Amino acid sequence: MSDTPAVSVNHLTKVFKGSLGKGAFRAVHDVSLTVKPGEVYGLIGPNGSGKSTTMKVILGLLNATEGDTRIFGIPSTEVASRRSVGFLPENPYFYKHLNGRETLHFYGKLCGMTGDHLKSRAEEMLALTGLEDAATRRVGGFSKGMLQRLGLAQALIHEPQLLVLDEPTAGVDPSGSRIIRDLIIEFRSRGITVLVTSHLLEQMQEVCDRVGIMAHGRMVREGRLDELIAVENQTEMVLENASPDLLAKINALVKAEGGGTRLLRSGHPRTTLERLFLEATNEPKKP
């Protein structure tokens, strides 16, 4: 059982048909990925690279043009595959006439939850996402970050085994996004699988076990995060308060060493995932 991938995407291609057969657009091109149970998988890529589209196919909201996707071994085309999944779409929105608590009750009931169990779970989720104060306020008046938190709360309401989060920190303030990051780490410790996209690479680097980088609808890099960002034949030195003099000396030393040793660059260090991201996604577009 534990060998069954939490999510498997097999040679997925998604073409959006334009109106009247014109302007068909290939948003996802032959993408394969596997998320093992219990790991945090980060999907990153520039805007429009097909991350959200891939997620929607995984959740059965869109049909795959080619290839297939499965959740815990069950094809996404079957409703049963969504029994144990919590999904937070990008820019989530809810019935604006309900308040925060009623919204959670609504989604809990859709998952077949009832009575006291549902009530206590809803309160728990409100507390977890810091929405206690907004529990009796209409969703119509929620701010962007509050909607995002409510989206996370509804995704968690039925204690899913897999979480699919599309930019969970978009629009959330720094402390809120830190809380979400910590939550993801806690989910992993409880054995919950997470598939997440985000443009905050620093945070992704902190939480992800594995990442896939998408560009132009294709998967351009995939693997364990630590392996991907380790560059075996390069060494990075981070100095504090180094004087220009010292830097010049180091430079001279490197030059004197000769052979294969070269100083590639110096300057302020960047997040390594960020560097990888820019490298991978700026490669020339394949036909």
Ligand X SMILES: Nc1ncnc2c1ncn2[C@@H]1O[C@H](COP(=O)(O)OP(=O)(O)OP(=O)(O)O)[C@@H](O)[C@H]1O
Q: Which CB, 9 or 122, lies closer to Mg ion?
A: 9
- Closest distance of CB 5 from another protein, Å: 8
- Closest distance of CB 204 from Mg ion, Å: 14
Q: Which CB, 104 or 225, lies closer to another protein?
A: 104
Q: How far apart are the first and last CA of the chain?
A: 39
The helix/strand/coil state of 126 is: helix
Contacts of 42 (CB under 8 A, 6+ apart): 196, 197, 198, 204, 207, 208, 210, 211, 212, 225
Write the binding mask 93 to 112 for another protein: x where contact by CB under 8 A, - elsewhere. Answer: xxx-xx-------xx-xxxx
Write the binding mask 241 to 260 for another protein: x where contact by CB under 8 A, - elsewhere. Answer: --------------------
CA-based nearest residue to 150, from 175, 171, 120: 171
Q: Which CB, 16 or 95, lies closer to ligand X?
A: 16
Q: Is residue 192 at the binding interface for ligand X, with CB under 6 A as the rule?
A: no
CA-based nearest residue to 215, from 52, 51, 15, 68: 51
Residues of span 58-97 touching another protein by CB under 8 A = 59-63, 73-75, 78-80, 82-83, 85, 87, 89, 91-95, 97
Q: Do 104 and 122 touch, CB atoms closer than 8 A?
A: yes
Residue 60 partner contact from Mg ion, ligand X, another protein, none using kind-dependent CB cut-offs of 5 to 8 Å:
another protein
Contacts of 175 (CB under 8 A, 6+ apart): none
Residue 89 partner contact from Mg ion, another protein, ligand X, none using kind-dependent CB cut-offs of 5 to 8 Å:
another protein
What is the distance, to the nearest Å, from the Cα of residue 238 to the centroid of all Cα atoms in its chain? Answer: 29
Chain contacts with ligand X (rule: CB under 6 A): 16, 25, 27, 45, 47-53, 90
